Amino acid sequence: MSGFPVILLLVVTLGVMTSAALFTPKGPHQVTIRTAIMLTVAACYLLWMVTYMAQLHPLVAPRRSPLAE
C-alpha cells in the first residue's frame, strides 16, 4: 500500500471541482451553488483521505491482550 490512491483521488476531486465550477447553472445564486458543491466535494475527499491514511499508518500499534493467551 502506498499514498498513490490519495494522490489519484486528489486529481479526480480537483477535476470534479473544476467541472462543478464550469457547469453550474446561471442565475442569482450561481456562486452559492458552486461554493456549496466545491465545499461538499472537498469535505468528502478530506474525510476519506484521513480515514484511509489512519488505517494505512495507525498511530498506536496493536498489542496482544494477556487474556487472549
Instruction: Give the separation between CA 34 and CA 24, rounded to whole angstroms.
Output: 6
| pLDDT per position as a tens digit, 11-64 | 999 999 999 888 888 999 999 999 999 999 999 999 999 999 888 888 887 777
The three cell numbers locating residue 56: 494505512
CA distances from 69 to 32, 49, 59, 65, 66 (A): 58, 36, 25, 7, 6
Report yes or no on whether pTM surpasses 0.85. Answer: no
* pLDDT score of 10: 94
Half-sphere exposure of 33 (CA within 13 A, CB side): 12
Residue 69 has pLDDT above 80, yes or no: no
Domain ranges of the chain: 4-58
